[in-house]
């Protein structure tokens, strides 16, 4: 059964910013791009490391450890050394909160 968690306040991030979600049952990151919110697995599939420590360029996030890149919309791996994508999750904004639905 899916679980919905509060990631942050809707005004916590400006466009192009991201953050790690504290207290999530799994490593989780959220970002805001062009007014849209995205939630993603905050763990590089190449070598376990928080993706939110890296750089966000549009909808692409880069792991600072070895440069692996992922699409925050689809989860697809976009650059080696990653060959496996990351999980992405449904996001909605309600009453000023960013909510993420986890499986």
Residue 10 maps to which CATH number?
2.102.10.10
* pLDDT of amino acid 57: 98
68: domain range? 3-102
Cα maximum dimension of the chain? 40
Spell out the residues 6+ positions from residue 97 whose beta carbon is closer than 8 angstroms to its own: 6, 7, 8, 9, 10
- What's the domain count of the chain? 1
Distance CA 38, CA 29 (A): 8
Q: Between the CA of residue 60 and those of 5, 16, 32, 71, 103, what are the distances in Å?
A: 24, 10, 12, 5, 23
pTM equals 0.95
pLDDT attached to residue 86 = 98
Check pLDDT > 90 for residue 1. Answer: no
Instruction: Copy the structure tokens of residue 65.
Output: 């450890």
Amino acid 27: pLDDT: 97
Asked if 97 and 10 touch (Cβ cutoff 8 Å), the reply is yes
Whether the pLDDT of residue 71 is over 90: the answer is yes
Residue 73 has pLDDT above 90, yes or no: yes
Q: Are 77 and 63 in contact (CB under 8 A)?
A: no
Residue 85 pLDDT: 98
């Amino acid at each position: 059964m899916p679980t919905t968690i509060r990631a942050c306040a809707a005004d916590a991030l400006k466009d192009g910013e991201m953050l790690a979600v504290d207290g999530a049952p799994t490593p989780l990151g959220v970002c805001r791009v062009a007014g849209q919110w995205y939630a993603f697995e905050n763990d590089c599939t190449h070598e376990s490391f928080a993706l939110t420590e890296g750089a966000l360029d549009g909808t692409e996030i880069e792991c600072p450890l070895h440069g692996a890149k992922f699409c925050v919309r689809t989860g697809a791996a976009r650059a080696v050394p990653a060959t496996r994508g990351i999980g992405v999750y449904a996001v909605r904004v309600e009453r000023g909160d960013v909510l993420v639905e986890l499986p």
